[in-house]
Structure 1
Amino acid sequence: MANEMMNRHNDIFDAMNDWFDLPKKIFDNNEMAKLMQADVVENDHEYVIKVDLPGMDKDKINLSYNNGILSVSGSRKSFKDMSKDGSLIHRERSEGHISRSFRLPNVAASDIHAKYDNGVLTINLPKQSANESENSIQID
């Protein structure tokens, strides 16, 4: 019976912990990352990243590569195409700013190439060869 009472006590606290963790789950970076889905492929010569960014204008997407980290960000304004036809009763298309970073070492930053087509951003990041590395020091 004492074990039964302890289990009931634990169930109540587990439910409370789930409730208080809800804001954390909503604003967790992993949850935001689901909104910017990506595939990363590595081979001997380069990294290739494909990022889904549906509905974004190419000029609203920003890319930067600094200190071994590729940052991808984008923003989308509100959709006004429905407001002139009547009252909006349900909305699922989101608006706002989103960003994501990828740690990719040894990239030849000056040779990075990106292409945006049909809502998919493809980024090619060529790897530096051993003799191009900025951090290598030759000993005489």
Structure 2
Amino acid sequence: MANDMMNRRNDLFDAMNDWFDLPRKFFDDTNVAKLMQSDVIENDKEYVIKVDMPGMDKSNINLSYNNGILSVSGSRKSFKDMSKDNSLIHRERIDGHISRSFRLPNVVASEISAKYDNGVLTITLPKQSSDQSDNSIQID
């Protein structure tokens, strides 16, 4: 009996914690980061970004580079693999729209290239070459 009362009390507090935790979960973007895990590599000539985007069709991925910010977004439509004779018991595959942005300055926007292979998007952003001429002014 005491054990049953403790379980009821724990269920009540668990429900309250879920309710009060809802705003944090709603605005928490860690789930997006888990969906779009990425590596950013920099060398003297370029940035290379690899973004995991499994299950996305290449035609549903969008890239843009404006004002030093690379934006990567993608969408996945609803899954239609349910037959009329079956009912869904558990669902983890999601559909919807996700996006991330990366601040990468001094990029030659016209030379950005991207490749999508086996669920990994690889974006190469060439850096602007520094002007080799000496811009210093001698004072006489």
Q: Fold conserved (TM > 0.5)?
A: yes
TM-score by length of 2: 0.76
The answer to whether the aligner puts 1:106 opposite 2:95 as a matched pair is no
Distance 1:80 1:100 in 2: 27
Alignment of 1:49-60 (within 5 A): 49-60=49-60
Cross-structure match for 1:80: 80
Distance 2:121 2:85 in 1: 32
- Superposed CA offset, 1:6-29 (max 9, x none): xxxxxxxxxx89963442134312
TM-score by length of 1: 0.76
| Change in 2 beyond 3 A, CA 1:17/1:93 | closer
Distance 2:86 2:123 in 1: 40
- Superposed CA offset, 1:61-100 (max 9, x none): 0000000000000000011113345111111111000000
Cross-structure match for 2:35: 35
Alignment of 1:9-24 (within 5 A): 20-24=20-24
Pair member with larger Rg: 2
* Structure 1: runs of 5+ lacking an equivalent: 1-15, 132-137
Q: Name the SS of the counterpart of 2:72 in structure 1.
A: strand
Q: How many residues align?
A: 120
Distance 2:85 2:109 in 1: 47
- CA shift, 1:126, in A, is 0.5
- Superposed CA offset, 1:19-70 (max 9, x none): 6344213431233222211111111110000001111110000000000000
Distance 1:84 1:69 in 2: 45
* Structure 2: runs of 5+ lacking an equivalent: 1-15
Measured on the aligned residues, the alpha-carbon RMSD in Å equals 2.3
Equivalent position amino acid for 1:90 in 2: H
Identity of aligned residues (%): 80
| Change in 2 beyond 3 A, CA 1:139/1:44 | closer
Cross-structure match for 1:3: none
